[in-house]
Amino acid sequence: MSRRKGAAAAGGGAGPMAMAAMEEEAAELRRGPWTLEEDNLLMSYIACHGEGRWNLLARCSGLKRTGKSCRLRWLNYLKPDIKRGNLTAEEQLVILELHAKWGNRWSRIAQHLPGRTDNEIKNYWRTRVQKQARQLKVDANSAVFRDAVRCYWMPRLLDKMSMAAASTAAPPPLMEQHGQGVLSSSQSPPIGSDQLCCYGPAAAGFDPSPSASTSGSTAAAALQPAPVPCFSELNWEDQYCYPSGGDLDGGAGGMELDSAALLGSLGLDGLDLGPAESYLPDATLLDYLNYSSCTANAAMNMMAMNGGSYNNSSYCGGGGAMVDGDHHDTTTAATTCHAARKLAGEWGGGI
DNA sequence: AAATCCGACAACCGCATCGGA
DNA sequence: TTCCGATGCGGTTGTCGGATT
């Protein structure tokens, strides 16, 4: 399909006079930020005549704007039901989830976020999500990044949601509203949303062995919020590092992580993921601990959502090794997060 | 205090699609 | 069936304000 390039070309086969008139008209058109007067004009016109017929609106309202510009201004800014302010954790979760499913279908995603515009979602993706991907030097649409999002970012958002829910005692609506994908209420056990955060063995009787993660209802009932910080909330240097001659990443000088203290505080001192070398040939100690902790946090959240057994293949990404209906213990869950966990280690508190 | 950088967001542009003539 | 205007969508750019140097 042939496309006209710019307003000057809009005349097509028009004669010189018509062309001149169009160029004159185009020259009069305003661009750039909208003024208060323009906003008022647009709103009052729509109040009288309703939305739509944007070109007609542009001609008749007295606005020296294109119909497109008027439409955009209305839909993205002036429309009364536009929601302002930062995206909530729930909304971010929906975006991550739906983007993994549909890709850059911003308007489609926006349909699932009442009051949010496709433009806003697109901007969020570009400024926040893609920034993370850039920092990790991976493509935001890559399977590795998607796995990282699922295994690390989403659990963190769940953490936030549950914390918010706990502080306000208001039930987060996402599970009910959303009803699909990773957070499908049909896939999740009927447990309270406030149980989706951090679960320690002290409170939950957490046992990473396969036999301990079979009984969904029992496990779900046993799962209680533990007074244990999420991995994301941990103050690394204060609590889990001690001076040494070796750097975190094996370099000279600095601190060294106390892995036992860290995993112990996470309630995972009984967790044996095996030697790091077995799955991370180039792993450093930091890689290993990040790996373990990311996995543990994700695994515990996953436990909560699945009644104590790892049976949700979507949780660790489409590229993961899980199969619906399979039974997985913590170690297996850890293995399926293979690519994501290294990235998660690099993420730190950047999310 | 001034200059520079950077993140967030509004707005524009080109292209695709739809529907009516 | 074709043409063409209107509308919608996604990518990109411009602008502004706060943070940093």
**pLDDT one-digit tens code per residue, A24-44:** 455 567 888 888 888 888 888
User: CATH number, domain at A69?
Assistant: 1.10.10.60
Give the nearest nucleotide to A58, CA to C1'.
Answer: C6
How far is residue A110's CA from residue A102's CA, in Å, rounded to a whole number? 12
Quick check: is A343 in a domain?
yes
Do A73 and A199 have their domain in common?
A: no
pLDDT tens across A90-137, in order? Answer: 888 888 888 878 778 888 888 888 888 888 888 888 877 877 777 777
Q: How many domains is chain A built from?
A: 2
Say whether pTM exceeds 0.75. Answer: no
Residue A290 maps to a domain: yes
pLDDT category of residue A263 using cuts at 50, 70 and 90: very low
Sign of the alpha-carbon torsion through A233, A238, A240, A243: positive
Question: What's the rounded mean pLDDT across residues A280-290?
Answer: 30
Does one domain contain both A214 and A68?
no
Would A182 be classed as within a structural domain?
Answer: yes
Domain ranges, residue A323 = 174-347
Which strand B bases fall within 7 angstroms of a protein CB?
Answer: 7-17
Amino acid at A115: G
The C1' atom of B13 and the CA atom of A93 lie apart, in whole Å, by: 30
Is residue A182 domain-shared with residue A45, that is, in the same domain?
no
Q: Please report whether residue A114 resides in a domain.
A: no
**Domain check: are A204 and A332 in the same one?**
yes
- Mean pLDDT computed over A283-293: 33
pLDDT per residue as tens digits for the range A311-336: 233 333 222 222 222 233 333 333 33
- pLDDT confidence of A194, banded at 50, 70, 90? very low
The protein footprint on chain C, as nucleotides within 7 A of a CB, is 5-12, 14-16
